[in-house]
Amino acid sequence: MALDYEKTAKAIVAGVGGGDNVAGLTHCMTRLRFVLKDMNLADDDAVGTAPGVKSVARQSGEYQVIIGNEVSHVFEAISTMELAGHHHATVREAPEQKEPNPIKRVFGFISGCITPLLPAMLGTGMVKVLLTLLTTLGVLATDSPAYILLYGMADSFFYFMPVFLGYMIAKKTGHSVPLYMVIGAMLVYPTVTGLLGGEMEGVATGSFFGVNCVYVFGVVPVVMTSYASSLLPMLLMTPIMGWVEDFAERVSPDVLKAFLKPMIFLLICAPIAFIVIGPIGSVCGSLLAAAMAWLYKVVPWLTVGLLSALMPFIVMTGMHYALIPLMTLNLSTVGYDVIVIVTMFCSNLCQGGAAFGVAAKTKDTELRSEGFASGISAIIAGVTEPAMYGINLRFLKPMIAAVAGAAVSGLLAGITGVRAYTAGGSPSLLSLITFVGGQGNPFHGVIWGAVCAAVGIAISFALAFFLYRDEDDDAGSELLSPDAVRDKALLADDEHARGLHADHVHADDTRHGAKDARQPTPEGSSDAGEASQTAPEALTVAAPMAGRYVPLSKVPDEAFACGALGDGAAVYPEDGCVYAPFDGEVSALMDTGHAIGLTSADGISLLIHVGMNTVTMAPGAFVYHVAKGDLVKQGDLLMTANLVSIAKHGFDITTPVVVLNADEFDGVRAAGADPVCVGEAFLGVQPRDGE
């Protein structure tokens, strides 16, 4: 009988203490993971008897409801319910393991918000590359309807970046998506953009820290700047918006909350965004422009190198807008510019070079594709967002490579006197044409600009290739591979592994010698020869990982140990490589990458769950080498896990291998061989008679 997901969802929510008691909810491959305000309100018996629920567990501060294969459907049913009073509850992500380094935590948060936007970023960026080539070759005029429509499509994503970022921040932090998007949309609203761009006649303006501003109510200064394509205001607003929303939730009476809470949120956050947070980039940029103008008079070659290195962060914070007037002034007075055009030229190309380095190094085909595409976007069109946010900032070390390459390239440009004589869009390799001019040899800038480009790209490529490692945990550990890990000692908790191993050694000869390891006999069979004559031949599940054998009952997770999720066994792995245990189909993957579901041609639904509670780990410890729906052969590499990183974050690496639909068979028996070797028989699954 098909499970009624809505009925199950209602029973579970009622059992955990009602919607008002739910502070957060996520799910992994087999279980719902609740964060409850008061764990004492949860009724284990009520939840455990809900249709489809196999068992419940309380661990790691979570209330876990074990369901099995249909967990995603129940999750979806719960996520549509009104969990918090009369208001739609936000389904929050499971709490992640906190990175102790605050700088890495900040960059990790930024990357986590931007990485999901990468497909749109790459797609629109490549359209800009196409348009750049078409206009350069004279195929398409910039004032043609086709160009305008295509450019609007390509630029819309970057222009409305604050809106998209508002969506991702809300999803990441578990707050109201519509309200956060309104703050982002407000920053780029056309009329507001016109007001802050000085396009409205009759509006009195003034000055604030050297930056033009308009006055609200005649006294409150609002800096005149553009927030299109900007990230800093929304990122800086993140903790403020979170606090304000929680405050509005507390002070709004239930009967008025539907409109009072969002109104309070907007009336507080909007002024803060425009008056306090938003202008930070412009004010700092104005100060930076003054400092760079002075420094360029003193040591011009050093200024170009320094500014080239800092340019990614200047662009990231929106301070580059304040440098544009300086560029315009330079072009109109001295006839050339290096402060903006040349430094961005060096910086943009090196962002692309670092992305190319990652693409050349990684074994992840999807990341390789992203790296090459974002590198092309940066180098050919000067669109650096895909490379900067999707690759280099995301993995940190490639950003170091890009900065180093830009510094050397910029120093060389400053020493050799590379100058831009015209402005021509976002600086890219095609911007070399703007370096033509000057007295004497008009191609001096083009020749040395090309040299600077080659040097910068080469350095950033080489450093990124050298520094980057797939899923590097920045702690000196490397992603364990089939060739490297077998000779490594198992982490700091090896003594635990040895003790566990001692507990799992089996003296019973029937588990080792009397049983054919290549063909495990089903549980409960007293004679293998007799069983083979009276029952269908058992189906074999090969070992997906190498390591030490662990009985399922010894797994340090009650849901696995009690068999609530199904029958099977576990491996304490010696490396992080997971291989296909049979021919079949990849039926399920997780966003966190910690588990994989497979279905064999014989109907075995298998779960391989790497580590205990690893669903709460921050992204980076796991890499899939297959996609959902892929057909695999026994022995194919399915995924790799960084066991060093997992253990250093305090997680047990014991890996259960469980037949989720064990009730559809007559028995599942573990081979019990120790050590466990990849490809050898690990489980025997006995079909029912007549199947």
326-355 in b/e burial notation, b at 16+ Cβ within 10 A?
bbeebbeeeebbbbbbbbbbbbbbbbbbbb
In angstroms, the CA 676 to CA 578 distance is 13
Instruction: Supply the DSSP string of 449-468, one letter for each residue.
Output: HHHHHHHHHHHHHHHHHHH-
Task: Identify which of 117, 147, 115, 111 has the alpha carbon closest to the alpha carbon of residue 131.
Answer: 147
List the 655-659 sheet strands across, edge first: 547-551, 567-573, 655-659, 605-609, 595-600, 584-589, 631-632
558 by Cβ neighbours in 10 Å (0-12 / 13-18 / 19+) ranks as: middle
609 annotated active-site: yes
Contact 448/418 with Cβ under 8 angstroms? yes
Structure-token pair, residue 569: 């066994």
Structure-token pair, residue 444: 């001096």
Structure-token pair, residue 428: 């890219």
In angstroms, the CA 34 to CA 94 distance is 8
Question: Who's near 8: CB < 8 A, 6+ residues apart?
Answer: 50, 51, 52, 53, 67, 74, 77
Q: How many CA atoms lie within 13 A of 603 on its CB side?
A: 10
Annotated catalytic residue within 320, 444, 609, 649: 609
Instruction: Supply the DSSP string of 341-367, one letter for each residue.
Output: HHHHHHHHHHHHHHHHHHHHH---HHH
Contact 37/25 with Cβ under 8 angstroms? no
Catalogue the active-site residues: 609
